[in-house]
Structure 1
Amino acid sequence: MVEADKSYNDLKNDFIYEMDFIANIGTKMFLFPFTNRTKVSTYGYYFTYSLVIFTSIQLSVTLCLTGFADWFEIINIAPNLGVCLMILVKYGKINRNRDLYNAISQHFRLDVWEAISESKEHKRILNQYTQTTRYIVRFAFYYTIVLVAIVVLFPRLIMLYETDIIGKEMQYLYPFDGWYPFDKVQWYYIAYVWESFMTSVIIFLYLFGNMLHMTFTRHICMELKILGETMENLLSEDDVTKINGNLKIDLDNIHYNIRKKIKFIISKHQFLARITSGLDTVMGDGMLLTYVFGSVFICLTAFTATVVDDLYKSLRYFSFFCSLLVETFFQCIMGQLLINHSEKLERAIYFADWVYADSDTKNMLLILLMRSQKPFSYSANGYLTMNLDTFSGICSLSYQFFNLLRTAYSE
């Protein structure tokens, strides 16, 4: 039921408000507006990108200095380096494909309203998807703030706990423990502020990309739902009655209006197919990295958290494990939602009252049905489809490796 029987304009304003919320965050990340950005915003983007590159180099040097001899130090550094590399891929690809993102943004601000009527069912769908998108985006936003606070403050809290409460010797802890060309103990607070700042930047960039892609995916799903509902009501009961009654005077006009609706649905479906394919191409590298890192590091961080004899490292590895699991699930659930809504549109086309249509309309419906039989999806660069089966496979593979490592370690 539509919340408090909101008017069409109120629901439209709610939807646009959510678009503006994402846009405001994107402005702070130097990515929005996607095109025609100011010089300050463009310089801000390249400066931020350079900072992430510098942090990636810092972590790479740190990893190399371990000599790849200390297992725990490798696991301590590698996930952070992997996240930085994924940020470089995601952040850079959003900027390089800004025309695609701008076209999607403009479509859902302006053109989508051609498909959404003021009918009760369309208003219900619009309200439902606006509200769920709001909940998802707000959760991701506040989760980001909490995550930044935990990652930045956690080392200091552990230091205070171990030094002041337990009475252990002072052990200097950092958010990601990078290498510096100076004594980082002597310059502890400078190193800590730098790592806290870059940790905050990287987490916000990472989760903004997720919020943006989830928002666009939910909007695509909403439009597919709208088109499916329109297809189910392609012929009204009055139209069927007139067709069965052979009222020649109205038949040409009825079939003309039906074909007009189908052409409109086909044009919208083609556009959604195009932007979904574009998003799949843009996100493909990131999803492939998510799959590879997810398969490897979910296992390694979970295993290391159970065997390391240090409170801080144990909690840190466990947090890595949880974050990787959530990120992998997030990517897979986006793909699953897209597949589900594509299949629902296919069923809506099949169950439309096509038996009462004329031959030209049936041919158009057949073409649309054939196109919709290949559902929209996201993939890891075409190697595998991102869905819940993939997530299940990643978890199963990681669990098998975890058991293998536990057995080898115990022996």
Structure 2
Amino acid sequence: MDEKGRLFNESLQKIQLPFRLSGLPLYSTEKFTFKLRILSFLHLFFLSSGALGAFHVCWVKAMAGEDFVTVTVMAPCMCFSSLAGFKALHLILNRSKICEIIDKLFAIEEETKNYIVDDIYNKERNSLHKVITYFKAVYIVLLIAFMISPFSIMAKNYFEGDFELVYPFTLSYPFDINHLELYPAVYLHQVECTIAVFLFAGAADSFFYTCCLYISIQFKMLQLQFEILIPDDRSQIRLKFEDVKDKFVELVEWHEKLISLTNLLEVVYGKITLYNFVISSVLICLTLFDVTVIKDVSLALTFLFFLTTCFVQISLLCYFGDKVTQASTEVSDAVYNSLWYKCDISVGKHLLIVLMRSQKPCKLTALGFADVNQRSFMRIMSNAWSYFALLKTMYH
């Protein structure tokens, strides 16, 4: 661990690709240059235009009194696009805080490098890297599916003698897109919209997962140090506070830094998480409805894959948020499990203060409306299922 923040930096390298491709600098040493600003602006422009086009299609079809299934086909894509755009804007607006979080995690890892337990680090980091790799694979497969599906449908229609232009999505444009010479431009626009959604969503989510994991690892390291704060000395002499003062102060400062870091992450992701929770219920409801109602098998499979992605995304968000809460709360158990009864009463008083503070968990919330934990995930699933059941009943 001679290299500063080497372990955390290895995980950041895993998630740097979506940041680079989306035009968003990750490290504080990287400048938000004019070229990066143009790249991120172009992604946002294409994403916004695609989301507005999908919204206009839904609005026109609804006003025309078309079938409800036809109206809601583009609703999931519209919701997911708006969510990705919202995440991108917050990443840009909170760039200074994101850099501060990274620098603080670097500093904490460097300061506590002598306390690192390789088994805990390796296990947690491997699980994180598997999640990141999984999402990269899912987004690539989804992108390829969206890119190839129009050509497969057009080829099928061509051999059946009914050729017509097919696009990945049904978006509204201020001009007639049913012209062969316009097809490449419109097709590339829709592909770029999809790429922008995946890049922004992947960058925001993967950074959140990484920060939550490393904060929870630091809390686990802190637990171990509190447990062994009092040496197992068989002598009858009770330790006084002066004997463990230096180590105790170091652990308390470590605890305060982790609390501050969690609060900073909450500031960056509070609004994103709230919007994510609200949109996820709608997304899962509408996507599940489309899967069960649409008769086109290929389209239904696409929505099923999309439903799985939404389900996994919100479950991982709650899972990693819950890891921070659990790890911070378990600090109190570690203090209680220490050999406090072998020390002077002054040591016990100081440990009691830490125990009482750590019983108040460090938690990430959806702007204070809901905690980011497994209970929230179950609540989202319950709400989505209730909306789906009501929607299905009204439809029939």
- Normalized against structure 1, the TM-score is what? 0.86
For 2:230, which of 227, 235, 243 is the aligned residue?
235
Structure 2 CA distance for aligned equivalents of residues 128 and 332 of structure 1: 19
Give the superposition deviation at 1:24. 4.6
**Structure 1 counterpart of 2:377:** 391
Q: Shift of residue 234 of structure 1? A: 0.9
Name the aligned partner's letter for residue 113 of structure 1.
Answer: E
**What code does the residue aligned with 2:80 have?**
V
- Tell me the equivalent position of 2:91: 94
Whether 1:170 and 2:167 are equivalent positions in the alignment is no
- Aligned residue number for residue 53 of structure 1: 48
2:237 maps to a residue whose letter is G
Shift, 1:171, TM fit = 4.9
Give the corresponding residue for 2:280. Answer: 294
Query: Could you tell me how far 1:373 is from its partner in structure 2?
Result: 1.1
Q: What is the Cα deviation at residue 163 of structure 1? A: 4.5
1:245 to 202, 215, 237: 237
CA distance in 1, matches of 2:115, 2:280: 44
Report SS of the residue matched to 1:133.
helix
Alignment of 1:141-180 (within 5 A): 141-161=136-156, 163-164=158-159, 167=160, 169-180=162-173
Match of 1:27 in 2: 20
Q: Do the aligned partners of residues 139 and 170 (structure 1) sit closer, same or farther apart at CA in structure 2, a change above 3 Å counting?
A: same
Task: Say which SS state the counterpart of residue 339 (structure 1) adopts.
Answer: helix
165, 190, 198: which one aligns with 1:195 = 190
Instruction: Give, in angstroms, the shift of residue 123 of structure 1.
Output: 2.4
For 2:113, the aligned partner's letter is: I
Q: Which residue of 2 aligns with 1:127?
A: 122
Structure 2 unaligned segments of length 5 or more: list them.
Answer: none
Preserved contact between residue 301 and residue 321 of structure 1 (Cα < 8 Å): yes
Q: Structure 1 residues 45, 193: closer, same or farther in 2, change over 3 A?
A: closer
Query: What is the identity, as a one-letter code, of the residue corresponding to 2:75?
Result: A
Q: Which amino acid aligns with 2:319?
A: I
Q: C-alpha separation between the residues in 1 aligned to 2:331 and 2:161?
A: 63
Q: Distance in 2 between matches of 1:17 and 1:45?
A: 25
8 Å CA contact retained: 1:273, 1:376: yes
Q: Of the candidates 276, 288, 311, which is equivalent to residue 297 of structure 2?
A: 311
**C-alpha displacement at 1:115, in angstroms?**
1.8
CA distance in 2, matches of 1:307, 1:25: 34
Q: Does 2:327 align with 1:341?
A: yes
Normalising by structure 2, report the TM-score: 0.89
Residues 361/47 of structure 1: CA separation in 2 closer, same or farther (3 Å cut): farther
Distance 1:398 1:362 in 2: 48
Q: Which residue of 2 aligns with 1:106?
A: 103
SS of structure 2 residue aligned to 1:174: coil
Task: Go from structure 1 to structure 2 and tell me whether the alpha carbon gap of 1:105 and 1:12 turns closer, same or farther (over 3 Å shift).
Answer: closer
Distance in 2 of aligned mates of 1:11 and 1:231: 24
Of 306, 311, 319, the match for 1:325: 311
For 1:21 and 1:377, how far apart are their aligned partners in 2? 25
Q: Equivalents in 2 of 1:109, 1:180: separation in Å?
A: 47
- 2:82 is matched with 85
Report the CA distance between 1:161 and its aligned residue.
4.1
Counterpart contact for 1:232–1:348, Cα < 8 Å: yes
> Equivalent residue for 2:261?
275
Question: 5+ residue gaps in structure 1?
Answer: 1-7
Which whole-Å CA distance do the structure 1 matches of 2:342 and 2:309 have between them?
53
Query: How many Å separate the matches in 1 of 2:22 and 2:381?
Result: 32
Identity level (%): 22
The residue number in structure 2 matching 1:380 is 366
Task: Note closer, same or farther for the CA distance 1:400–1:171 as it changes in structure 2 (3 Å cut).
Answer: farther
Q: Distance in 2 between matches of 1:256 and 1:162?
A: 83
Return closer, same or farther for 1:136/1:305 CA change in 2, 3 Å cut-off. Answer: closer
1:357 is aligned to 343
Contact 1:155/1:175, CA 8 A, preserved across alignment: yes
Q: 1:322 to 1:126 in 2, by over 3 A?
A: closer
Please give the per-residue CA displacement for 1:109-143, whole angstroms capped at 9, x wherever unaligned.
Answer: 33312223267xx2222222232222222222222
In structure 2, the partner of 1:219 is 214
Greater relative contact order (CA < 8 Å, ≥ 6 in sequence): 2
The change in CA–CA distance for 1:185 and 1:214 in structure 2 (over 3 A counts) is: same
Residue 117 of structure 1: SS of its match in structure 2? helix
How many residues align? The count is: 390
Dislocated runs of 4+, deviation >6 Å: none
Secondary structure of the 2:351 match is helix
Q: SS at 1:28's partner residue? A: helix
* Aligned-residue offset at 1:225: 0.7
SS of residue matched to 2:369: coil
Task: Tell me how far apart the structure 2 counterparts of residues 49 and 360 of structure 1 sit (CA, whole Å).
Answer: 58
